[in-house]
Amino acid sequence: MKILMNTGGIASTNGYLVADEEAKVAVVFDAPDHTISPLLDEAKKNGWEVIGLWLTHGHFDHVADHEVVTRRFPGAKVLIHKLDEPKLQRPSPFVLPFKIPLRSADGYVEDGQKLKLGRYEFEVIHTPGHAPGHVMYYCAAEKVLIGGDLIIGGSVERTDLPDAAYEDLRRSIRRVMKLPGETKLLSGHGEISTLDEERENNQFVQEAME
């Protein structure tokens, strides 16, 4: 498994490209504004076909460049949890210096669903709190968790948004922390860490676990 990361946009958001180098296929996880093109360039250079844009949730900084992905790789299917699809279909409540094209999902992900990327299988874990349709993507074979905005490098994401819920966030954290501690956490903001590192250093995780 090859994992490439790029960070950018107005919210310093992480986008990821994950590839099965043997099968020559890849998936983009989240599409921050002005950030995803270098990852797509790498896919083109390596001859990887991008088969999907798998979104962790629908907040603007994670979906802004969805059209960039599908324009360059028309076969890429945009997947999101049904509870967060409305965010793709209406303008962001925030005033932004760019316009995000509106669209519907090509398909939905749900808790426990298994998604294939070449030889690799990702399990969808529904982790509401920051957003009602927030999900994470877990590859047990590689001990990799694409984490979105649940746990973000020593902190957690905000729950003061209209459809956020702090108690849901706490429950989601407790669920995710049952995964192996050596699991790499590729979060939506900040540096890559492990679940053990978050357990040891993240006071919000520690409080949720009490």
Look at phi and psi of residue 65 and say left if phi exceeds 0, alpha if psi is from -120 to 50, else beta: alpha
Give 19-29 pLDDT, tens digit per residue. Answer: 999 999 999 99
pLDDT at 193: 96
The pLDDT of 73-90, averaged and rounded, is 97
- The three-state (H, E, C) secondary structure of 149-201, written as one string: CCECCCCECCCCCCCCCHHHHHHHHHHHCCCCCCCEEEECCCCCEEHHHHHHH
Q: Is residue 159 predicted with pLDDT exceeding 90?
A: no
Q: How confident is the model at residue 174 (pLDDT cuts 50, 70, 90)?
A: very high
The predicted pLDDT at position 24 comes to 98
Residue 101 has a pLDDT of 94
Provide the pLDDT confidence category of residue 94 given band limits of 50, 70 and 90.
Answer: confident
108, β-bridge pairs: 80
Residue 21 CB coordination number (10 Å) = 14
121 — pLDDT class (breaks 50, 70, 90):
very high
Residue whose entry in the numeric block shows the structure tokens 């360059």: 72
> Mean pLDDT score of the chain, rounded to an integer?
95
Length of the chain as a residue count: 210
What span, in angstroms and rounded, lies between the C-alpha atoms of 1 and 117? 10
- For 106, residues 6+ apart whose C-beta sits below 8 A from its C-beta are 77, 78, 79
**CA distance linking residue 38 with residue 168, whole number of Å:** 35
DSSP state letters, 128-156: -SSSTT-EEEEETTTTEEEEETSB-SSSB
- Check pLDDT > 90 for residue 158: no
Mean pLDDT of 105-134: 97
User: SS3 helix, strand, coil % of the chain, rounded to 5?
Assistant: 25, 30, 45
